[in-house]
């Protein structure tokens, strides 16, 4: 069976990292041990360098919205062609911390960039390669950003206005409502409940994919 690509999406502070651990745990319960975890932007030497530039900027140079967009796509195509596709072809599953939906929402709605350009990039650069399943963790920007602020300072993107994050969130919700491969999970609630929901939806999806629970596997 070919590998599958499962993506976790959501605003900052939505709990993507712990959700990824829960996804990994659930995959193991269903006998899937061959998987890798990727992050977008990141995951190849070039993409990791771009990640630092995007998040921190350089020498106080203003990064234009289109330069940022193209950096995300440069990072993504390297990740897709050098890591994600080769893994899937070798029957290795991929759990992605973000993918193209982040550009559709952050750049398309947050930065209000040309939707047609985004469409062309998605279709031409990524050849419309899509995740098999996306779990969108829906959190209010105020809750999400306050979770981050308890741990560390905000980075270049996280310093955007609340309006920006509200636009991104609305866009996530709108796209998720129209696409049956995107499952929305309320991430405003306690972590334990979020994990329960992830397990519930992912289990259902895995069963639909023909996977069977491996009893006796701890955790």
Contacts of residue 194, defined as CB under 8 A and 6 or more positions apart, other chains included, come to 15, 18, 19, 137, 185, 186, 187
Q: How far is the CB of 3 from ligand TMP (least distance, A)?
A: 21
**Which residue has its beta carbon closest to ligand TMP?**
106
For residues 40-99, which are near ligand TMP according to CB under 6 A?
40-41, 72, 97-98
136 contacts ligand TMP (rule: CB under 6 A): no
For residues 105-124, which are near ligand TMP according to CB under 6 A?
106-107
Q: What is the token pair recorded at 95?
A: 């759990």
12 contacts ligand TMP (rule: CB under 6 A): yes
Helix crossing, 191-208 with 16-29: angle to 10°? 40
Shortest CA distance to 76 belongs to which of 65, 64, 89, 85?
85
138 contacts ligand TMP (rule: CB under 6 A): no
158 contacts ligand TMP (rule: CB under 6 A): yes
Q: Which is nearer to ligand TMP, 156 or 213 (CB)?
A: 156
Q: How far is the CB of 193 from ligand TMP (least distance, A)?
A: 22
Contacts of residue 29, defined as CB under 8 A and 6 or more positions apart, other chains included, come to 213, 214, 217, 219
Q: What is the token pair recorded at 171?
A: 């866009």
Strand order in the sheet with 5-10: 35-39, 93-97, 5-10, 133-138, 182-186
Q: Which is nearer to ligand TMP, 159 or 217 (CB)?
A: 159
How many residues form the binding site for ligand TMP (CB under 6 A)? Answer: 13
Contact residues toward ligand TMP (CB under 6 A) are: 12, 39-41, 72, 97-98, 102-103, 106-107, 157-158
């Amino acid at each position: 069976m070919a590998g599958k690509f499962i993506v976790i999406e959501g605003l900052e502070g939505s709990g993507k990292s712990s959700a990824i651990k829960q996804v990994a745990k659930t995959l193991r319960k269903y006998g899937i041990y061959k998987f890798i975890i990727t992050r977008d932007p990141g995951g190849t030497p070039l993409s990791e360098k771009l990640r630092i530039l995007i998040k921190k900027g350089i020498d106080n140079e203003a990064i234009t919205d289109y330069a940022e967009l193209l950096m995300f796509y440069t990072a993504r195509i390297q990740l897709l062609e050098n890591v994600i596709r080769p893994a899937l072809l070798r029957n290795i599953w991929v759990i992605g911390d973000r993918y193209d939906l982040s550009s559709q929402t952050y750049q398309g709605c947050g930065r209000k960039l040309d939707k047609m350009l985004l469409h062309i990039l998605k279709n031409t650069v990524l050849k419309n390669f899509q995740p098999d399943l996306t779990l969108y963790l829906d959190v209010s920007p105020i809750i999400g950003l306050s979770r981050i602020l308890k741990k560390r300072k905000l980075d270049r993107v996280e310093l955007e206005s609340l309006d920006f994050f509200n636009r991104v969130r609305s866009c996530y919700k709108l796209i998720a409502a129209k696409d049956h491969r995107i499952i929305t999970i309320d991430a405003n609630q306690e972590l334990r409940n979020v994990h329960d929901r992830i397990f519930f939806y992912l289990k259902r999806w895995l069963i639909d994919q023909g996977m069977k629970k491996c009893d006796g596997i701890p955790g």
